[in-house]
Amino acid sequence: MNSGRTVFAQVMDFLPLREFRRCVERYRGDHKVKSFSCLDQFLCMAFAQLTYRESLRDIEACLRSMQHRLYHMGIRGRVARNTLAHANQTRDWRIYADMAQGLISQARELYADDDFGVELKEAVYALDATTIDLCLSLFPWARFQPTKAGIKLHTVLDLRGSIPAYIKVTDGRGYELCLLDELTPEPGSYYIMDRGFLDFQRLYALHLLRANFVIRARRNICYRRLGSRPLNKSQGLRSDQMIVLTGRPTVQLYPERLRRIRCVDDKNQKSMILLTNNLVLPAETIVELYRCRWQIELFFKWIKQHLRIKSFFGTSENAVKTQIWIAVSVYLLVAIIKKRLKIDLSLYTFLQILSVTLFEKAPLFQVLRDFSAASNQIESANQLNLFN
């Protein structure tokens, strides 16, 4: 069925073109464009992500070397370094941000039943932000300290499948709390946060909307204990208390009861205090939910290592945001393909295979299946070890 079509073209078949064209029309991306469309721009930038290109010159050289296959890859316009640079600088980055939101919806539906380590039916989200450092002399618009420049990636991560439910890109001065201001809480869902999100007015707004939160607390919070619950200290728990806040500003900002759980990490023996408005779940489950927040740290580490968001193909704000949103779209596209084809490979391995097979003319599923078969054969081979 896919004979004669490149692997890259088969990957891009999973891109919802109708929705993409709708995004282009919304921001008039192809207005007065004659040869190099927004789709051509997206495909070139997606190719750069999948093959780990380092510069615009690198992209141009690689694609021009395969000029006879570009049409079959979906690229209709002539690939030139200046053309791609101009497109990244002038075409609205919101085109690709909206496209990424559409892919987020698809990916979340596919991963809705995945297990993340805690048996809960409700949705569980982790909130955090990471800073991507930039060169101050090349990106002066991104200054957030006298000698530093950078942008922040604010993320709400759905822990089922590690799919970002919401992403916002700001300059380095953006505060993490902006996520809580723009969040539309789902009743019954859980939001896991670190101490940077400790704002009782915003947390009370979550509580009034019937959303659950688990957040790490500071030790200097003034409170009054209403009662304690029995607990199993062999699992690292030290206290499980019902409290009310007594500080002069906080008692007005959060007048309801809270639950204060103190536990000790077995590995480093560090004490940790958690606050939650959920009064029903066992304390062990609350602690495990907070430990699952580490998935968002792994997500940030993964995309920084395996996507092109640390070296940029343009220096303007529009070019940087365009590249980030296309990188996120590629991540989601690969996650969607992995789920729909039921491929039992990690995303890292999947990306590595794609990086060396994009110009191959073979069915995508066969390429991935052959790799899995070869890996199993190597692992089960009875051969001597080079080093004992």
Residue 290: closest CA among 256, 268, 316, 263: 263
CA–CA gap between residue 314 and residue 62 (Å, rounded): 18
Asked if the structure places residue 42 within a domain, the reply is yes
**What is the mean predicted confidence (pLDDT) over 100-115?**
92
Give the number of other CB atoms < 10 A from CB of residue 212: 24
Out of 264, 284, 304, a domain closes at: 284
Q: Are residues 88 and 13 in the same domain?
A: yes
CA-CA-CA-CA torsion sign (153, 155, 159, 162): negative
**What is the mean predicted confidence (pLDDT) over 230-243?**
86
**What is the mean predicted confidence (pLDDT) over 51-66?**
90
Asked if the structure places residue 262 within a domain, the reply is yes
- Sequence letter at residue 317: E
Q: Are residues 275 and 210 in the same domain?
A: yes
Asked if the structure places residue 18 within a domain, the reply is yes
pLDDT tens digits, 298-319:
999 998 888 888 789 999 999 9
Give the number of other CB atoms < 10 A from CB of residue 108: 17
Confidence bin at 362 (pLDDT 50/70/90): confident
pLDDT tens digits, 120-177:
889 999 999 999 999 999 999 999 888 899 999 999 999 998 899 999 998 888 888 8
Asked if the structure places residue 172 within a domain, the reply is no
Q: How many independent structural domains does the chain possess?
A: 2
Residue range of the domain that includes 200 = 195-284
Place of tokens 């959060």: 254
Q: Torsion-angle region of residue 332: left (phi > 0), alpha (psi -120 to 50) or beta?
A: alpha
242 vs 215, 224, 228, 254, 257, CA distance in Å?
Answer: 15, 9, 6, 14, 7
Asked if the structure places residue 275 within a domain, the reply is yes
Out of 268, 284, 300, a domain closes at: 284
Is residue 323's pLDDT more than 50? yes
Confidence bin at 372 (pLDDT 50/70/90): low
